[in-house]
Amino acid sequence: MTSKLLRSLLALTVISMISAAAQTSAAAPSGAASSPAASSPAAAAPSSPMVTGAGSKIGTINIEQAVIGTNEGQRDFQALQKKLEPKQNELKSQNEELESLQKQLQTQGDKLNEEARATLVKQIESKKKSFDRSVQDAQEDAQNQQKEIFQRILQKMAPVIIKQAQEGSFALIVDTSNPWPQSPVLWANEGVDITKVVVDAYNTQSGVAAPTSAATTPKPLAPKPAAPKAAAPPSK
């Protein structure tokens, strides 16, 4: 995904959702199977949300991979990618048009009279400003829609994570979506990672069929073109 910006936007969301689920689980009747004490989310760094339980082991989960790995996540991100394609193609066309004008200025600028060159420069500046604004708006829209998908799935995944932590007798579950040093986890044995277990349990619970192909988060939108090189002044 993604993704540094998206991860930072989702970090506090992950903490609040999982903390709420843990507190709900802790408030269950004493006759319930496993009831870990709820912990304060303030103790966990936003870059590495944690879940605490009553067990003795420490486990890990890659929240980002878990969400994208679910059948629901793959389905919804595929749909979002398809939805964004027309805007991506539109931006690509605008970018190509702008690059063509920049190339024209670079190759023909010294052959144009002062008025024609000034008109071309003004046209490039106007189109570049419009293109930059369109890219920014499109990126913000895509990020907001990605965030909405993550939040919606996380809301339903949080109780699944708590349940798997309880059943696995884990005392602590740490999110490893961010690599070290952004995360305090330097290394963890694959045997303590519950990402796949959570994904499988979530898929069973959701009842969403697996998509025909693996999903990825939407690709970056068209890059901003490089600033045009200064053209030679018109010959006198």
- Percent of the chain exceeding pLDDT 70 equals 67
Number of domains the chain is built from: 1
Residue type, 61: I
pLDDT tops 70 at residue 93:
yes
Cα angle 174, 176, 178; round to 5: 135
Parent domain of 114: 76-141
pLDDT tops 60 at residue 27:
no
What is the rounded distance in angstroms from the CA atom of residue 150 to the CA atom of residue 106? 45
- Is 53 a domain residue? no
- Is 92 a domain residue? yes
- Is 41 a domain residue? no
Lowest pLDDT segment from 17-21, 33-37, 122-126: 33-37
pLDDT at 85: 96
- Is 214 a domain residue? no
pLDDT digits (tens, 9 = 90+) for 193-209: 999 999 999 999 999 99
Put simply, whether the predicted model's pTM sits higher than 0.75 gets the answer: no
- Is 181 a domain residue? no
Is residue 232 a contact partner of residue 106, using CB atoms and an 8 Å limit?
no
Backbone angles phi, psi at 51, to 5 degrees: -120, 135
- Is 137 a domain residue? yes
Q: What is the mean pLDDT of residues 213-223?
A: 52
pLDDT digits (tens, 9 = 90+) for 133-142: 999 999 999 9
pLDDT digits (tens, 9 = 90+) for 39-71: 333 333 344 455 555 567 899 999 999 999 999
- Is 62 a domain residue? no
- Is 102 a domain residue? yes
